[in-house]
């Protein structure tokens, strides 16, 4: 059985995984999920990227939105607002609240996040093994200008992304706690046993980059004997959705498919897929020592996404040969 390991963020990662499962239904897929977006709200631990993967693969996702639950209502949030309790800018629905309550209760009882995630997945049956990158607390912060001091201040990634809509310049992206974090149980083992490692079209800085920032993970990917293939989240010099260009700028990387490939570099990835509109970038990427192909990369539906996954696996076989 083919063992595939995927380093995934939220929406891009989850949608890709749905296509991958459809392309290779018999493969054993392990997902290493980003937890740098995690945030504590109303006393609850919220793991947006893990939940997006779990809900998407488990059939509970709000399809159009790409995050949160389907058939959602917001009574709890409205009641909290009536007490003047926010933040009002973070969307947490009633159904979603239950997930965060269960998670927080289990963590309070002493279970590590990896065990909690497994318990939540018992309900959702995502058809993949979903591992948080770490059981330790890591929270991505963004360094922005401080309107009142004239200096700079760090804000939580969710505040930068959701409240500010990435509309102010980001000077640095800091995965707070990453340096002291340990990979969650199973993460390094899965990478060591992988036949193929994939980077889905997830955010290269605040999703895949944060997972790679957990000590030992980047080294394990780089040392892997399995081919490592990525799919560009940048199409036609812009993110397909979201504001990945803003966080790429913060780390000095241009928003092009080729620049993202070079940012990962040939020590980390062996192959890279760009969209057909970026076919002109193929020679640039290959000159950097990374095998590159141009194929359609728009995840318009599960079939189109399954074809992308099949192309990624085909490129992996090509670099293995
Ligand atoms: P987040 O945690 O919800 O931001 O999700 P990810 O980090 O997994 O993915 C976000 C990235 O997915 C963004 O940079 C988008 O540009 C990219 N993305 C979303 N939809 C598509 C698509 O259909 N095709 C490609 N190539 N990239 C996509
Ligand atoms: Ca995310």
Distance from C-alpha of 214 to C-alpha of 136, rounded to nearest angstrom: 10
Ligand 1 centroid distance, CA of 299 (Å): 9
**pLDDT, position 147:** 80
Binding-site residue set:
51
Q: What is the mean pLDDT of each run of 10 residues along the chain (321 residues)?
A: 97 98 98 98 97 98 96 97 94 97 98 98 98 98 89 95 94 97 98 98 98 98 97 97 95 98 98 98 98 98 98 98 89
* Contact (CB, 8 A) for 116 and 145: no
DSSP, collapsed to helix, strand or coil, labels residue 160 as: helix
* Contact (CB, 8 A) for 104 and 45: yes
Does ligand 1 have an atom closer than 6 angstroms to the CB of 241? Answer: yes
Report whether CATH 3.40.50.10680 matches the domain 3-134+180-320: yes
Nearest atom within ligand 1 for CA of residue 200 = 8
**pLDDT, position 149:** 76
Query: Which of 11, 15, 37 most suits a substitution to test ligand 1, by most atoms within 8 Å of the C-beta?
Result: 11
**pLDDT, position 1:** 87
Does ligand 1 have an atom closer than 6 angstroms to the CB of 33? Answer: no
Peptide bond into 119 cis (omega under 30): no
33: left (phi over 0), alpha (psi -120 to 50) or beta: beta
Q: How many residues does the chain have?
A: 321
Does ligand 1 have an atom closer than 6 angstroms to the CB of 11? Answer: yes
Alpha-carbon Rg for the chain, nearest whole angstrom, is 19
Give the number of other Cβ atoms within 10 Å of residue 49's Cβ.
29
- The pTM of the full predicted model, rounded to 2 decimals, is 0.98
Which ligand minimizes its atom distance to the CA of 8? 1
**pLDDT, position 150:** 80
**pLDDT, position 31:** 99
The token pair that represents 26 in the structure block: 């018999």
**pLDDT, position 148:** 80
Domain boundaries, the chain: 3-134+180-320, 141-173
Distance from C-alpha of 133 to C-alpha of 34, rounded to nearest angstrom: 6
**pLDDT, position 61:** 98
Which ligand minimizes its atom distance to the CA of 201? 1
Give the number of other Cβ atoms within 10 Å of residue 159's Cβ.
17
Which ligand minimizes its atom distance to the CA of 296? 1
What contacts 163, CB < 8 A, 6 or more positions away?
87, 89, 90
Ligand 2 centroid distance, CA of 181 (Å): 18
């Amino acid at each position: 059985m083919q063992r595939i390991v995927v380093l995934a963020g939220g929406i891009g990662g989850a949608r890709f995984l749905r296509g991958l499962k459809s392309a290779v239904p018999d493969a054993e897929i392990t997902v290493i999920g980003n937890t740098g977006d995690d945030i504590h709200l109303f006393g609850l631990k919220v793991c947006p990227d893990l939940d997006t993967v779990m809900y998407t693969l488990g059939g509970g996702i709000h399809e159009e939105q790409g995050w949160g639950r389907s058939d959602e209502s917001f009574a709890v949030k409205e009641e909290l607002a009536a007490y003047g309790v926010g933040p009002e800018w973070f969307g947490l629905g009633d159904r979603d609240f239950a997930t965060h309550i269960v998670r927080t209760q289990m963590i309070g009882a002493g279970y590590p996040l990896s065990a909690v995630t497994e318990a939540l997945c018992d309900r959702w049956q995502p058809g993949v093994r979903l591992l948080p990158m770490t059981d330790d607390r890591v929270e991505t912060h963004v360094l922005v200008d401080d309107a009142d001091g004239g200096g700079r201040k760090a804000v939580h990634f969710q505040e930068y992304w959701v409240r500010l809509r990435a509309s102010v310049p980001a000077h640095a992206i800091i995965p707070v706690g990453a340096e002291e974090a340990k990979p969650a149980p199973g993460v390094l083992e899965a990478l060591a046993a992988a036949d193929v490692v994939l980077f889905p079209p997830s955010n290269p800085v605040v999703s895949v980059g944060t997972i790679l920032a957990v000590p030992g993970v980047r080294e394990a990917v780089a040392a892997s004997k399995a081919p490592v293939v990525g799919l560009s989240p940048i199409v036609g010099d812009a993110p397909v959705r979201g504001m990945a260009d803003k966080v790429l700028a913060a780390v000095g990387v241009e928003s092009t498919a080729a620049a993202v490939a070079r940012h990962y570099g040939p020590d980390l990835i062996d192959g890279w897929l760009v969209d057909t509109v970026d076919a002109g970038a193929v020679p640039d990427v290959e000159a950097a020592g990374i095998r590159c192909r141009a194929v359609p990369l728009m995840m318009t539906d599960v079939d189109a996404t399954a074809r992308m996954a099949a192309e990624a696996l085909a490129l992996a076989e090509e670099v293995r040969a």
